[in-house]
Structures are given as structure tokens and as C-alpha cells.
Chains A and B, each alone.
Chain A
């Protein structure tokens, strides 16, 4: 776990790729991409192992348990598409319902899941929770913003890992879903978005902060 002091608040960057805000007991996760293998199969693509929803929910269940979070924000692209949200298998649906029960749960819309989904919780385009704004895709001008979308990753000692990107203005979360790839922090989109002194905080067995590779 890495502690980040961001706009007067202390945030915990978890090795799983989740973000915990202890003062508000809020867990934020981004880009779960639940139902990805189902979407590919439905569209006539390859038949990937149908276990990623189960694997991602196990991860989320563990983080909720460890942090004791009471509020959950899913930063968009929670489902690989809207039909994947409808097509989610019964056991996973019940599991998700159990996780949502009794919590203040917000689904932020993403580009993969642009509409409301028939699973509990509230749905919003973005969420303000002072001092932060939570949204799917970072906006150039905003401050104190927490977002996802880009699936950033960076390499250290020859190993590439999903990472958080942080500068004074914004924090970008890595993808939390199991079946997700990443965009190297070198990519022009990310170097344009992040300030020169940005940090990359790598997930994995040990959370490590380095100057953002660019």
C-alpha cells in the first residue's frame, strides 16, 4: 500500500489497483470490464475462459473486506458493454448484489457502459465528493480529479505492471478488471495529460512509486 497526500486528503493506493479513502471509508475501482469474455463470444470472436467476472469479484470482495469500505465508486467501464451487464451469469449477479447490499454504491458511466444497468446502486455521469471529482475520463482543465479509462502501466526492473498516475492536479487509476491490458505511460496521450513531475505508482506484490516513465 502506498499513501498519497492529495488535495489535503490521505489516500491509500492498494496493491490490487483499488483506491481507498480512509476518512470517507470510500473504495474506488476503475475499469472492471466484467463480462468481457461473454461479449467476445457473443460477437463471434474467440472463446476466452469465462472466469474473469468471478476472478474480478473475488478481488473486489477481498478489498471490501480488508478496507471495511462503506462507500464504493466504480469509475466506469465496469461492464464490457451494456449487454454484458444484462448477460451476467446468475451466481455473479447474486454475488454482486451481496457486495452492493448495505453500501453506498455508485456506478459512473464509461465509454463501454454508457447507460444505466439493472443491478443495484446509483448511476451517474460523474460524482463530486469534496474535494474530489470522480469521472471516467480525465478532463484537461479540472483539478482534484480522480479518473480511470486509460489503463496505465509502467515497467520497473524488466517487469510491466498496471500503475496509478498522479500529479498535483489529478490521479488516474489502473484497470482493476482481470482481463485488461494497459497503455504504457510513455504514450503521448498520457505524457500530454500528466505534469512533468508526475509519479507512477506500480501495483503488484509491493506497491512502488517512481517518477512517471515518459
Chain B
């Protein structure tokens, strides 16, 4: 058992603090090579992680880096520096704690390399950069511990894959390195433990009381479709007045903006309410954060930007607007209320439409049953490995066998074969092309058995591209006259604007004026209704766990737990058709408004249902059924066309669907976007930096061109393999179509009806309909060109 310095124990006693049992346990297990601590929010988790470090360092430690703390958020490192500083300074310990992120000044970073603090707080990206320096072995020479905060959040993304590769590197530099992972909500502790290290001890703290969570009751029933929860604003305002501070979570930035705008219009009592999301300018976000900490706000309308970490004072209610799509995220958000150990968190769910009432009920059931979801992630992505190999080469020459041995100690790469590793090495060294005619295609060279950069100057470029977060290209938005920055919009959205268009940002309606030097200039407008939608952000797909629970709810004889309007709706569906069940795939076919419709209740999540729409309409096209378009939600795909489907089985033949995926879907925009991200991470193309984009634009060309070129001349190239693997799991989500078809087997049931069914009706109100005409886009462009020429008097 490690013991705390007496000065620190005394200080704790003076403050009236006693250690929680799990904090004691961390001290007891100080010598374990790896420990995963799972504790609820507010349980003093972070302090627990640092206790062994404080015990080992003692009151007056010798210089040198002892502990590395890694968090997914920059803001969290600054927060921890303050929180850790209080007891260290209070007890008069001579321990230096510093943070190092992208925001740290150049001089500070230089100094940290020459003379590292005892405890360095950083992010995976900053660590990647540090490890790529030639003096990395010296900087990390005495490192004893590494603490990873919010491990569950990192483990879900490539940032986590990169991080564990880096920790494997650190372990090679320091055999005695001990790892601590800190996590709140985990669906599968052993899997997360293996992610951290091969031999991790799991410590689970008392999870505390169950949350007080329910569905918000409103006078008006939710609408049949759509999102945003505008109907519930009076009830939500009422809740805000009855609580100290309320966080109102939305699933997308666009909904967050629209809701905040509408809330403000109905806020007759002038309650101080703020908005917080990732597309707002830093100044604006900081202002809201400060006001929150000072207790000056009664509510904040926010997105995932407030999911993690930081303490924002006295939140006593969390409202989730829209179905949570994923139980784990919901539990995390609930934890944001009452940041005190042993006090139940209070949360309300607000379904945005009738279907979401059922989904919210499924989520409530899951929370009460303590089941969490989480799709298991596949093996460690190879683009991250390619970047790791390049970064390793920046630090100095390496031996390929040794690096391979090190890489497979990292959890996600445990099953990586030597052959796969060699393919990644070949890609980083020569580009890995089938055409081997050129000797100039050499980034890495082998000399005396060791691999190194052919040109050491290339290190600069490689370092600039480190990291696995790919920013969607955005443009700053600011007011034309005052020049005040308002936030950012995606470049694609900006290019769709024409002067005079109005849109929402930071809760206000603005008018697009011009695009000047990569900045969108806008003016304030008195209008209340924005003309165009806000951002084109991505949408989460409903998890398999929730989808399964919804299907279970459908099997009940009656629905006493559901609001009467929703129970009636389900009963009606059962009366005229059937409710979908887990053992078969229900299809409904009916005429409506002069078109034939096919509704596929796959419950496979938005992305998979979308892919299903693309693949099935392609099949229908070749069968001459003249499909005209489709729309997909998390539960169903609705296809319309000229002729009815009578024999559905061939449409759902797995082999045929897979073939469609291999051929024409390969040219899809989703694949191109996935390729771009992969190509940036693997180091094939450079990130576009704001400054560089402004000048010399002719010199840079679209990654789509590289994708098309590779498909044509080098179809087996490593990056195309990676792109395929990614897309199938990610945006295309073919794996869920496979799961669905495996589950239902031959039970594909088509019911022919004479009109729209209650369950299918809401689909008719869904936006984002996808037209199917092959030549449609071309015809559209031609018609537009004609109109433009006529308007200009040229046709």
C-alpha cells in the first residue's frame, strides 16, 4: 500500500475530506502494472487516479517527468491543473504540474521538452507530437505512470487506437511504466481493460443511487415526425423555472440552434439561457462556460460538446431532447446532473416525435435494467498504424521486427499479422503501389537493417499531419460591420448559400452577404424564420440494443407504460397490418397518391437503412419496377415507384446486395469521404490548413481524384482496403444489414395493403428524400443551366 505524504493527509483532514473506498483501493494497487477504475461522475475519480503519483513523488521529489495524464479534451487538462493544484499547494508539496496542448505557447513547449514537469497533462495529439521528437527517449526517461481519463470515450475512436500505440512505445522506453485508466460508463469492462493493457486489474466503485429519470409529460402530443421537440417548449420552460440549472441536450448542432431560437422567442420571463456547441466561436463558448461556473445561467442548450468531464457548477436537471439513440450516451448525459457522489441524478427525456416515444421508453427500460450498448469495435485501423510508423521514423531509425512486437502489445492491434504490418510499412516507405517502376517513391529507407526517413526534412510535414481527428472543412462566420466572430459553418454549407439567404447561428438569424477571404460575412436580420437549414452535420444511428428493445415493446399485448396517444397508434397498426417483430423482416406494400410504396421495417439504424435503400432500389431498377425515390430512418426505409413489389426475396439476397456494394456503391460519396479521412490519417495527403487553402488553390486537388485513380489503376491498394473496411462498419454500416438478414433468415414477410399504415405514415413527413433517377442529377443541372441562361437573356 502506497502512503500519501503526511502533509497531504493532514491537509485532507483539515479540509474535512476522507478518501472514498475506491480511492483507498487505488493506493493499495499502486504497484499493479495496469488498473482500470470505473466510478460514477462526481466520485473523485480523477483524484483517485493521481493518488499513487502523489504518494510516490512525496513532498520534495527530484526533477524529471513522473506521470503523464491524458484526456480527450483540452479544456479538461486546464481544469485538472487547477483542481490538482489546490491540494498540492495547500499541502506545500514541491510538485510541478503543467499542461501541454495545442494552445500551449511555443516557448512553454520548448521549456517543457528541456525541463519536463513532474506531472504533465496532455491530449493524445500532443503526446503524438512529443513522441515524434528525436529527444523523446530523454524526455520520457524516468516516466513511471500514465493516467488516461475518460478512457471509454477515447476507446471509441481512432484517437484511442493511436493512444495505445503510443503507450506501447512509452512502455518500451520504460519497462516499469504503470497504466491507470479512468472511466465512467462502460458496457463491457473486460474489453476496455484489454484495450488499456493485456493484464489490467478492474476496480469498480459503488455506482451510487439509480438516476431519477422519466419521460416529460406535455399537454400537446409530440408530432408524427421530425425532430427538435419544439412542441415541448412550454413544459421545458416550466421545468427550467423549477430547477437551479438545467442542461438541455440535443443530438445535432442544427437542432440545438433551432430549439434555442424558438425557446428564446417563448422565454417571456427572460430567464438567462445560453447555447453551447462545437461550431460556436471559442470566445462565445468560453463566455457561456464562465457564466455557467458563476451560476449566472438557468439553462444551457447544448450538444455533445458538454458530454464529458468539466464541472459546470450546480446542474440539477438534465433534459434530453430527441431519442438518445444510444443508452451509454444517455447515461453519461444524465451524470451531468448533480455532480455529487451518492446523490441521484435527475433527468427528463423529451421524444421529438411519436416513434421516439417508443424509443425513449426503450431507453428508460434499459437504464433501469442497467444495460448499456456499444457496438464492439473491429480490429485497430491500419491508417492509424501507418501514421504511427511514420511518427516513429521521425523520432529515429527503427527495427521493423521490434516495432511489430511492440505494436501487437496494444489491445486493438493484438491480432495484427506480420504480413499486415509489412503492408503498412511498405505503404509508408514506398506508397505501396502495384506499379514499382520508380525509385523516387521512397519516404523511408532501410540502412543497416533499420528503417529511417530518406529525407530528414520530411519529419516537419509528417508532424504537421499527426493526429486522427479530421476536421470537416469549415469557414468562419462573422458580422459584416462589427466583425464580431459568430462561429463556423461547413464549407459545403457555405457554398450552397446565395446572398440574401438567412440562417441560424448562435441562436440568431443572420443574412448571408458575401464570402471574403475564407470568411462568411453576414448581417443581422429582423426576420424570425431562417430560410435555410443550419449545418449538414452527421446523425447518430439508433443502437442495436435500443432497436431490439423497441421490437420487444412492440410484442406486448398492451402498452400501459406508454402515453395513451402512442399506445393507441400501435394498437391501430396491429389492427390494420402487423407490428414488426425480432424474428422476421416485415415489409408493407401499398399504393398512395398514384405511386406504389414499399416499407422495409429493418430497425437497423439510419445508416444501414439508407444503404439498404440504395441497394434495394438498384435491384428494383434492374427488375424494371421503376423506383423513383426513398427515404430512410432508424427503423425503416420507404421506397416509392411506379410498380408494386410482389416477390421481395430476391431483393434481399445477401450475395446480390454485396455485389451491388462492390460495384456501383464504390463510387458513392460516402466512400469518397471515408477515403479522404483515411488518406489524411495514413499520410497520403496533407491536411488542409486555413492559410494554405487561401493561397495556391490550383495546386491542391480533390482527394476524390486520387480515389478514382486508385480504383481504376490499383484496385487492391492498401488504402482502398482500409476505406472499404471503414465504410462497411461506419457510414455504410453493411454489417447491420448482414446481422439483420442473418437474424430473420427466410422469414421475409410482405403484406399487401390498400392504403398507408399507421406505422408507415410518419415516414411520409421525413425530409432528406433520396431521388433514384440515374440521370436525374444531370437533368437537374441541365434545367438549371437553361433557367440561368434565360434569366440572363442569353437563351
Contact = CB atoms under 8 A, between A and B. Distances in A.
Q: Do A and B bind each other?
A: yes
Contacts of A155: 495
A90 B699 CA distance: 26
B712 interface: yes
B675 to A, nearest CB: 12
B702 to A, nearest CB: 7
Nearest to B431: A47
A206 interface: yes
Contact of B785 (A47, A151, A208): A208
Contacts of B789: 209-211
Interface in A150-194: 150-151, 155-160, 175, 178-184, 186
Nearest to A55: B709
Given A48-B431, A49-B717, A50-B431, A178 B705 contact: yes
B515 A186 contact: yes
Contacts of A48: 431, 684-685, 706
B555 to A, nearest CB: 44
Interface string A62-87: 00000000000000000000000001
Interface stretch (A18-26, A37-45, A96-104): A37-45
Interface in A30-63: 38, 41-42, 44-52, 54-55
B709 A208 contact: no
A103 to B, nearest CB: 27
B699 A211 contact: no
A38 B433 CA distance: 13
B107 interface: no
Contact of A178 (B435, B454, B709, B788): B709
A46 B455 contact: no
B697 A181 contact: yes
B777 A157 contact: yes
B482 interface: no
Contact of A55 (B437, B515, B700, B712): B712
Interface in B513-545: 515
A79 to B, nearest CB: 15
Given A38-B440, A208-B781, A51 B697 contact: no
A14 B771 CA distance: 29
A210 B792 CA distance: 9
B782 A158 contact: no
B670 to A, nearest CB: 16
A52 B777 CA distance: 27
A208 B433 CA distance: 36
B496 interface: yes
Contacts of A8: none
Nearest to A161: B781
Contacts of B697: 181-184
B792 A211 contact: yes
A184 B698 CA distance: 9
B683 interface: yes
Main secondary structure of the interface of B (DSSP, over half): loop
B686 A46 contact: yes
Contacts of B435: 50-51
Given A41-B438, A44-B458, A156-B785, A49 B777 contact: no
A56 B473 CA distance: 29
B104 interface: no
A204 to B, nearest CB: 8
B25 interface: no
Interface residues of A, number: 41
Given A55-B709, A151-B698, A181-B698, A206 B781 contact: yes
A46 B699 contact: no
Contact of A52 (B438, B458, B684, B709): B709
B784 A181 contact: no
A208 B459 CA distance: 45
A49 B788 contact: no
B438 A89 contact: yes
Given A49-B713, A157-B777, A179-B705, A42 B440 contact: yes
Interface centre among B430, B454, B705 (most CB of A within 10 A): B705
Nearest to B432: A47
Contacts of A202: 785
A2 B63 CA distance: 74
Contacts, number: 113
A186 B777 CA distance: 23
Contacts of A178: 705, 709
Nearest to A52: B709
B175 interface: no
Interface string B741-756: 0000000000000000
A205 B706 CA distance: 19
Given A157-B781, A206-B781, A208-B782, A49 B709 contact: yes
B431 A45 contact: no
A205 B698 CA distance: 22
B709 A47 contact: no
Interface string B773-784: 000011011101
Contacts of A42: 440
Contacts of B433: 47, 49-50
Interface string B676-693: 000000011110000000
Nearest to A201: B785
Contacts of B515: 186
B710 interface: yes
A159 B672 CA distance: 14
A199 B792 CA distance: 11
B714 interface: yes
A42 to B, nearest CB: 5
A51 B714 contact: yes
B443 interface: yes
B455 to A, nearest CB: 4
B15 interface: no
A152 B15 CA distance: 69
Contacts of A209: 785, 789
A97 B463 CA distance: 42
Interface in B758-784: 777-778, 780-782, 784
A175 B701 CA distance: 11
B271 interface: no
B569 interface: no
B461 interface: yes
A126 to B, nearest CB: 21
B660 to A, nearest CB: 22
B568 interface: no
Nearest to A92: B437
Given A51-B714, A54-B713, A44 B457 contact: yes
A205 B437 contact: no
B794 interface: yes
Interface centre among B437, B440, B717 (most CB of A within 10 A): B440
Interface string B436-449: 01101111000000
Given A42-B440, A44-B455, A50-B431, A210 B788 contact: yes
A27 to B, nearest CB: 23
A206 to B, nearest CB: 6
Contacts of B702: 181
A206 B496 contact: no
B483 to A, nearest CB: 20
Given A157-B780, A206-B778, A50 B461 contact: no
A36 to B, nearest CB: 9
A182 B457 contact: no
A181 B431 contact: no
A180 B780 CA distance: 26
B455 A180 contact: no
A49 B458 contact: no
A167 B431 CA distance: 44
Contacts of B431: 41, 47-50
B782 to A, nearest CB: 6
By Cβ-Cβ distance, the 8 closest A-B pairs, closest first, are A47-B431, A181-B701, A44-B455, A51-B713, A208-B785, A157-B781, A151-B698, A211-B792
12 contacts: A41-B431, A44-B455, A47-B441, A50-B437, A51-B435, A55-B712, A156-B781, A157-B780, A157-B781, A182-B697, A199-B794, A208-B785
